[in-house]
Structure 1
Amino acid sequence: RAADARDARAETLERIALSACDRASAADPADPTPWVAKLAMARLHRLRDPAPHGLLTSPPGPWRLFAHVLSLDPWHREAHHRFLAFFFTRHGGSVNAAWDVAAFLAQRAPAHSALRLLPLVALVESYDPARLLADRVWEQPQWRSTALAVHRDWLPTVAGYRFTPVLDLAYLAHALILARREAEARAALTAMGPYASRMPWCVFGDPAGQLSRARRACGLPVPP
């Protein structure tokens, strides 16, 4: 946050954070958490390791750091999201690179994993309201089928989660709403229980208003 705000203390704060990560990883080498924190800071230095084979755009990035996290926890949710964020345009990446990386990561994840949502996360990140029919992109077969597959394979597993995966459910519900699949979106919104998140709704306007509109479209009550 300090770096994004161009805070003069950003460099000092980063050194402190990196030092803390080093101490934490030395204390418990099997814990991926400090390495995930380093992934979050990788965009500040634009680490440019060559991409593995299989990506159309072959975008350079912190691939070695990410690979180390995967060696500790191959399906670490936060690591995947932090890594994908490195390729967002607002962090110096490109739309095509973000889509490419999101597809690559999602395809290697198990069908019942929330990581299958990553292409939908990249799609939200690339949203440009100035583009013609920007809100209709989610109706395209590739995005609709992605959302429906996650609804089919991942959503039934949510009941077994210790904590409600609110953000993942929000991305799924949002994609299904824009894909005109209100019945499936209703199930995702219901699974959120009394919780809500700002993302992805805030990308499209006032988050409370966007979520309320989605709930109404699904026939769900809107909390006062």
Structure 2
Amino acid sequence: MAILSSRRRRTRLVPELDDQDLGKLLKSLRATTRSGTIATTDLCVAQISRLLERDPGDWDRRAHRMGVLADFLAGSHLPRSWARREPRNANALVLYAWSEVARARSQGSLEDAAGVIDSCFRAAELAPEDPIPWVVALSAARLERWEQPQVFGVWNEVLVRDRWNREAYQNMLGYLTPEEAGSRIQVLEFVDALRARMPANVPCAATELTAQVLQYHSVLGRGGFEALVARNHWSQMMAAQALDRVAHIWVRPGSIPHARALADLNVLAYALMAADRRHEARAVFEALGGVVTPWPWQTGGDPLDEFEQAQRRASVGG
């Protein structure tokens, strides 16, 4: 048990990443959400409200906090209860909608898609400058396989309010893949257009590299000979250049200041190891300090095990 405890201290799944205030809230919620009493619900709602009301206008930080809370509360009655009790509270409506989207990711579809979309639109009316209701609507539209003109309409509503919203770009990237509603050509065009005008340190900076990891996973998923030589993906020009553009920049302190920077560094460490660029990956692992995100490591098995194995290989690599 001592060995296991030491292991978990070294590498750990930390949904809040480096957001200490969010981490404190999650710790408190873990201790209080199980009783299901009205008093407990009131306490949790008050704690959540206080955090979500901080940093107004920092859409990147708000989206990170809202998304983590939605994942955490996806199996709880609390978001629905809060939204019903405060139907004119935009935070309550968005948290309910996002928690339903989080639940649907494991179930395959939304139980009440119309209700979720309606909650997003009502929240957008109550907080017209906030992009997050539209971000959640985009996630729901993706799950429901809306036609592209409808999805791009929601996407444009996000961009008007937050030009470089990380969650929105991740959703559009997934939606445009051949596995969902698009094609490989559409993914390339989407990434090319973004790269041509995107500043280096914006929240969606990892979109290009994420696209390459998704393509790599697609090759692995075909099995057979293609999976055996999947590593060759990273020697192709576009994949290699995507890594070259960020490998030495992101490890510099403050180079990617957004809320989910540690998630982006996980993607970078994974891609560098997949490309057998171990020396460069070593610095990324050091910058991460043992903070692990489930994706993309979970593709190969238990994310903590996969991360640790990769970290060990990087430490002895050339």
Tell me, yes or no, if structure 1 residue 80 matches structure 2 residue 176.
Answer: no
Aligned equivalent of 2:77: none
**94-103 or 135-144: bigger deviation:** 94-103
Question: How far apart are the structure 1 equivalents of 2:208 and 2:256?
Answer: 24
TM-score with structure 1 length normalisation? Answer: 0.79
Structure 2: which amino acid aligns with 1:35? W
Aligned equivalent of 1:141: 237
Unaligned runs of 5+ in 1: 50-60
Picking from 109, 115, 124, the partner of 1:25 is 124
RCO higher in 1 or 2 (8 Å CA, sep ≥ 6)?
2
Question: How far apart are the structure 2 equivalents of 1:204 and 1:141?
Answer: 25
Aligned equivalent of 2:309: 213
Aligned equivalent of 1:57: none
The 5-angstrom pairing of residues 8-47 of structure 1 reads 10-11=110-111, 13-43=112-142, 44-47=144-147
Aligned equivalent of 2:277: 181
Q: What RMSD in Å do the two structures reach over aligned CA positions?
A: 2.6
Question: How far apart are the structure 1 equivalents of 2:241 and 2:256?
Answer: 24
The 5-angstrom pairing of residues 72-111 of structure 1 reads 72-111=161-200
Q: How many Å apart are 1:120 and its aligned residue?
A: 2.2
Question: How far apart are the structure 1 equivalents of 2:167 and 2:300?
Answer: 23
Question: How far apart are the structure 2 equivalents of 1:45 and 1:159?
Answer: 36
Q: How many Å apart are 1:81 and its aligned residue?
A: 0.8
Structure 1: which amino acid aligns with 2:295? M
Question: How far apart are the structure 1 equivalents of 2:259 and 2:145?
Answer: 34
TM-score with structure 2 length normalisation? Answer: 0.58
Aligned equivalent of 2:5: none
Structure 1: which amino acid aligns with 2:181? G
Tell me, yes or no, if structure 1 residue 190 matches structure 2 residue 286.
Answer: yes
Question: How far apart are the structure 2 equivalents of 1:116 and 1:179?
Answer: 20
Question: How far apart are the structure 2 equivalents of 1:160 and 1:153?
Answer: 9
1:94-148, Cα deviation, whole Å (9 max, x unpaired) = 3333333233323321123353322221222232222151122113333222112
Question: How far apart are the structure 1 equivalents of 2:251 and 2:156?
Answer: 27
Question: How far apart are the structure 1 equivalents of 2:235 and 2:141?
Answer: 34
Q: How many Å apart are 1:184 and its aligned residue?
A: 2.0
Q: Which has the larger radius of gyration?
A: 2
Q: How many Å apart are 1:199 and its aligned residue?
A: 0.9
Percent of aligned pairs with the same residue? 29
SS at match of 1:91: coil
Structure 2: which amino acid aligns with 1:91? E
1:1-50, Cα deviation, whole Å (9 max, x unpaired) = 4376356xx35x2222112111211111100000000111122142222x
Cα pair 2:145 2:181 within 8 Å, conserved: no
Structure 1: which amino acid aligns with 2:279? A
Per residue, is there more helix in 1 or in 2?
Answer: 2
Picking from 151, 159, 164, the partner of 1:70 is 159
Question: How far apart are the structure 2 equivalents of 1:6 and 1:148?
Answer: 36
Cα pair 2:164 2:203 within 8 Å, conserved: no
Question: How far apart are the structure 2 equivalents of 1:72 and 1:125?
Answer: 27
Q: 1:94 to 1:159 in 2, by over 3 A?
A: closer
Question: How far apart are the structure 1 equivalents of 2:256 and 2:241?
Answer: 24
Cα pair 2:231 2:275 within 8 Å, conserved: no
Question: How far apart are the structure 2 equivalents of 1:86 and 1:162?
Answer: 23
Question: How far apart are the structure 1 equivalents of 2:206 and 2:108?
Answer: 31
Aligned equivalent of 1:56: none
Cα pair 2:116 2:140 within 8 Å, conserved: no
Structure 2: which amino acid aligns with 1:75? W
SS at match of 2:295: coil
Q: 1:85 to 1:117 in 2, by over 3 A?
A: same
Picking from 149, 161, 166, the partner of 2:257 is 161
